Amino acid sequence: ELKVEQNPLFLSMQEGKNYTIYCNYSTTSDRLYWYRQDPGKSLESLFVLLSNGAVKQEGRLMASLDTKARLSTLHITAAVHDLSATYFCAVLGNGNQFYFGTGTSLTVIP
Amino acid sequence: GAVVSQHPSWVICKSGTSVKIECRSLDFQATTMFWYRQFPKQSLMLMATSNEGSKATYEQGVEKDKFLINHASLTLSTLTVTSAHPEDSSFYICSARDGGQGVAPLHFGNGTRLTVT
């Protein structure tokens, strides 16, 4: 069974600070996705990482993938309140299904 | 961009009744759609993979007779929660990929919040 774990589960950080969210997965995969979910809303695609060493950046968020370590990171630079949300990583399974991580609930404090 | 429409957004029903949730891909064809369930402050749990023109594939532990899935066309999949009970109350989200297999991300519907009284 494919397992996807995120760390930390909850994160409270001050505006302007940097932090990294980690996503570990249990099986070989070279396709990893990051999503954002606002309270009561559906999921919004943030990044698609397709190969070892892939790095994508959008605004204050940067995602990377290390397929050998089965690890992806989502780095937050100079956090702002608008980034408060829950972030999920997801791995593509053998049957073309997406398996989601446990989620990281981020709260940015003024 | 790819848009997935889900209806209704929320529904309240009495125990024992059935509820149908529709998921439509608006600007692309989806031979495969995925149904997820999410409890408050938890991750998404894959319930089943809906395949156009064939039977759905259910994840282990998901009752196929309780959660009926029909994928009658390339743009529509439905999930029917039969004989609903309060423990079925949850947030149900459908998703699909534009381009089937490959690298495209999943696009999600807005979700349906089901409350069974």
| pLDDT, tens only, B27-45 | 899 888 999 999 988 899 9
Using 50, 70 and 90 to split pLDDT, how confident is the model at A92?
confident
Contact call for A42 and B93, based on CB within 8 A: yes
Question: What single DSSP character describes residue B86?
Answer: G
CB B97 within 8 A of CB B30: yes
Contact call for B103 and A101, based on CB within 8 A: no
- Spell out the SS3 assignment of chain A: CCCEEEECCEEEEECCCCEEEEEEECCCCCCEEEEEECCCCCEEEEEEECCCCCEEEECCEEEEEECCCCEEEEEECCCCHHHCEEEEEEEECCCCCEEECCCEEEEEEC
Using 50, 70 and 90 to split pLDDT, how confident is the model at B101?
low
CB B4 within 8 A of CB B107: yes
Q: What pLDDT score was predicted for residue B102?
A: 67
Q: What is the pLDDT of residues A49-91, one digit of tens each?
A: 988 899 999 999 999 999 999 999 999 999 999 999 999 999 9
Residue numbers in B near A45 (CB within 8 A)? 105-107
Query: What are A9's two structure tokens?
Result: 């589960």
For chains A and B, CB pairs below 8 A equal 51
Helix ranges, chain B (H)? none
